[in-house]
Amino acid sequence: DIQNIMASLGDDPSTTLYPAPFVVFGVTLFHRDVFRKVGLFDERMTQAEDRDICLRAYCKGFQSFYISTAAYDINRRRLSDVPVTTPLRQYLRGIRRKALIYAYTPSRRQKINTAIFATVHATAVLGILATPIAPVVELLPLIYQMVRYGGKKGVEMYVKALTLYTLIALSMPLRLKDICAWIEHG
């Protein structure tokens, strides 16, 4: 029960609540009223569900808090395997909305990957002016994925990464707009 957990955290003087427009990564507790007013999780999404619902709640007037002391420590030190294990068709469902959310709330890794894909695309496009073989640079991420995951899975991971990070890069200008204005229509 959320109230019991929050009450027990209140007894710890080292615990601090930080207001935040969204929270990510892990054990996020939502009060039932949030789901009544905001709606349920978007089933099309295979990642960013927590960011999505927190942002929708924020736009409806709810407040999210980051708690400085973990109530639970799931102690998972590696990256999510969701992109690897999710079938391509399922992963691509809702990817436009996922890209919009990640453009507004990027992690350090997502910023780096988006910059890499944007640089690869720009190099390929601008390189055409210098030499017709410049677009070959677009194959570098494919080669990396195939080395890391093997043939078929590598191609699948390349398609997933190419789609997601290209859409994030294209969505970055939307950061200048109010999140609530476009999240309803995303």
Q: What pLDDT is recorded for position 66?
A: 74
Residues 85-94 pLDDT 10s: 788 888 888 8
**Residue spans per domain, the chain:** 2-183
Helices (H), the chain: 2-10, 32-38, 49-59, 82-85, 88-92, 95-104, 108-127, 139-149, 151-171, 179-183
Going by the DSSP 8-state scheme, the letter that residue 137 receives in this structure is G
Q: What pLDDT is recorded for position 27?
A: 59
**Is this prediction's pTM over 0.75?**
no
First and final CA of the chain: distance in angstroms?
32
Cβ atoms 154, 146 nearer than 8 A = yes
Residues 96-148 pLDDT 10s: 888 888 888 888 888 898 998 888 888 888 888 888 887 888 888 899 999 99
Across the strands, what pairs with 18? 66
Cβ atoms 69, 13 nearer than 8 A = no
Q: What is the mean pLDDT of residues 8-22?
A: 66
Q: What pLDDT is recorded for position 20?
A: 73
